[in-house]
Amino acid sequence: MSEKHIQCEDETLIIAIDGPAASGKSTTARLVADKLGYMYIDTGAMYRAVTLKTIRRFGAQYTEEDVAALLPETHIELRREDNHSAHTSIKVFLDDEEVTSDIRSQEVSAEVSRVSAIPRVRERLVALQREMSKNERVVLDGRDIGTVVFPHADVKVYLVASIEERARRRQKELQDQSAATLNASIDDLAARLATRDRFDSTRDHSPLSCAPDALRLDTTNMTIECQVEAVLELASQGIKKI
Ligand code: DC
């Protein structure tokens, strides 16, 4: 893959990558950020961190008010770790505790759509995402980056893939993480992804949707290298409107 250099007039250059669960957003966004030397913000990790705190405090019995009351005392940080490998990794901190793998549990995945649909959670995290991006060159991935967080992002990409392919990717991810989840079948994972997609795309507040000016990329049969190349190509052209 060739190195790309982006010419931009503005101080800030925002690359927004949205799409449904397991469509390859975070891997693509992280590699694009690595290539360009940009900051990477995994906004899903931020919603997951609030969900983890909610579950720890209330279990599955909580109201919107309960979650909203947690927000002023919640501190989320994404710390970049340069571990001397080819790629930088991001560690997630919740109130100064490292929760990078805790936020990927099945319990959090099952609850995160509900927590992230709460308007006050969204307002708080969107404000934080904008603040973190101030005067930075950033790649953000999520569900509403190109539509709500940065509707004027310089580059917008919307990744999709078939549900079977996304379930396969999620199964591999889980297998890489822990032997305990080896039993999750493709059908089971596909059903869970479909439920989450439905919830995320039908909620009232900033639902998952493709911005009209985003490049829609079906990654079902694409390698991760091709996905990264496609985003870099778009970025190098400085395309704002397709
Ligand atoms: O990308 P992910 O699977 O880690 O995201 C977890 C959940 O967080 C997802 O189901 C919906 C929510 N989310 C959101 O509502 N808005 C974002 N910008 C990112 C994630």
Per-domain residue ranges for the chain? 14-237
Instruction: Give the ranges where 41-162 is alpha helix by DSSP (H).
Output: 43-58, 64-70, 106-116, 119-133
Q: Is the shortest distance between the CB of 158 and ligand 1 below 6 Å? A: no
Q: What is the pLDDT of residues 1-14, one digit of tens each?
A: 334 444 444 456 99
Determine the Cα–Cα distance for residues 79 and 67; give it in Å rounded to an integer. 24
Q: What integer pLDDT is reported at residue 181 of this predicted model?
A: 53
The CATH topology of domain 14-237 is Rossmann fold (3.40.50)
One-letter amino acid for residue 214 of the chain: A
Q: What integer pLDDT is reported at residue 84 of this predicted model?
A: 63
Whole-prediction pTM: 0.90
Q: Is the shortest distance between the CB of 109 and ligand 1 below 6 Å? A: no
Range list of β-strands (E), the chain: 13-18, 39-42, 76-81, 89-94, 97-98, 137-142, 155-160, 215-218
Q: Is the shortest distance between the CB of 24 and ligand 1 below 6 Å? A: no
Q: What is the pLDDT of residues 72-125, one digit of tens each?
A: 999 999 998 876 666 678 999 999 999 999 999 989 999 999 999 999 999 999
**For a substitution probing ligand 1, which of 27, 41, 47, 198 has the most ligand atoms within 8 Å of its CB?**
47
